[in-house]
Structure 1
Amino acid sequence: MRYIKPEFIKFAIVGCVNTVNYYGIYLLCLHVFHFHYFYAHIIGFILSMIGSFFLNVYFTYRVKPTWKKFLQFPLTQVVNTVVSTALLFILVEMAHISSSLAPIIAMFFTVPITFVVTGRILKTA
C-alpha cells in the first residue's frame, strides 16, 4: 500500500464518486426515461465527466482549473470512451450480460489507463 501514490488513491476515490454519478444517471436514463442503453451510457458519461474534471482538479491533483484544461480533459476520456463503449456493446450484445451490470465490468479495464492520461493533461498546461 505504501508504494501506491497518494494521487492514485485520490483518483480512485474520485473514480468511485464519478462511477456512482455515472451509474445513477445511466440507470435513471435507462429505467425512468426508457432510453436505449447506448444513449443512457453516453448521457451518463458526459455528465459524469464534467463532475470528474472538477473533482480531479481540486481534490486529486490540486491544480488550478483553466478553460484549456477543461477543453483538454475530454481527451483523457477518448480511450476510456472507446474501450468502455466497445466493452459495453460486447458484454450486452455478445456475452448477454445485463445492460445494468455491463458498465461496472467495463470500468475495471479503463481505470488504470485513464489515471495516467488524466495526470499528464491536468499537470501540464
Structure 2
Amino acid sequence: MLEKIKNNPKLLEFIRFVIVGVGATILHYGIYLTLEHGLHFNYNLAYTLGYILSFIFNFFASTFFTFKTEANAQNGFKFASAHLINYFVHMFLLNIFIFIGIPDGIAPIFVFPIAIILNFFMVRFALKK
C-alpha cells in the first residue's frame, strides 16, 4: 500500500495539498474565532483578515511543499487570482449560511469543505504547467 502511494505523484501531491489545506484552514478559523468572538470584530472583517493571513501561509506552503514550484511573481499572481475567486466563494457561502440561521461561530465549518475542493483545482491549475 505505501509503495503504491510513493509511486503515485498525483496522490502524493493531493496528500500534501490536504496537509497544507488543513494547516491553512486551522490558521484561518483560529484567527476568525479570535477576532470575531474574542475581540468582537464584525464577522466579515474577521473572516477576511483570517483569509489573508492563511493565504500568505498557503502560498508559500503550496509553492514549496505541495506543488514544488517556484515562488515568483507569475506564480504569485496566478495563485492570488485563484484565491480571489475562492475568497468570494467563501464570503458568499459564509453569508448564506449565517443568513439561513447557522451561528456565525460555526458557519465557517460548513464553508471550508466546499471551498477547499474548489480551491484545490484552481490552485493546481494556477501553479502547475
Please report the TM-score for the alignment, with normalisation by the length of structure 2: 0.87
RMSD: 1.7
Of 98, 115, 119, the residue aligned with 1:114 is 119
The answer for the alignment partner of 1:59 in structure 2 is 65
Q: Highest CA radius of gyration, 1 or 2? A: 2
Following the alignment from structure 1 to structure 2, what is the Cα–Cα distance between the partners of residues 112 and 25?
A: 21
Following the alignment from structure 2 to structure 1, what is the Cα–Cα distance between the partners of residues 27 and 60?
A: 13
The answer for the alignment partner of 1:104 in structure 2 is 109
Deviation, 1:67, is 2.0
Following the alignment from structure 1 to structure 2, what is the Cα–Cα distance between the partners of residues 61 and 120?
A: 11
Deviation, 1:10, is 0.9
The answer for the alignment partner of 2:34 in structure 1 is 28
Alignment partner of 2:121: what SS? helix
Q: Identical aligned pairs, as a percentage?
A: 33
Alignment partner of 1:77: what SS? helix
CA-to-aligned-CA distance 1:40-88 (integer Å, 9 cap, x gap):
0111001110110001011101112112212321111133212211111
Following the alignment from structure 1 to structure 2, what is the Cα–Cα distance between the partners of residues 34 and 71?
A: 32
Q: Which runs of 5+ in 1 are unaligned?
A: none
The amino acid that maps onto 2:74 is K
Of 1, 9, 22, the residue aligned with 2:15 is 9
Following the alignment from structure 2 to structure 1, what is the Cα–Cα distance between the partners of residues 97 and 117?
A: 20
The amino acid that maps onto 2:121 is V
Following the alignment from structure 1 to structure 2, what is the Cα–Cα distance between the partners of residues 48 and 78?
A: 13
Aligned residues: 123
Q: Which runs of 5+ in 2 are unaligned?
A: none
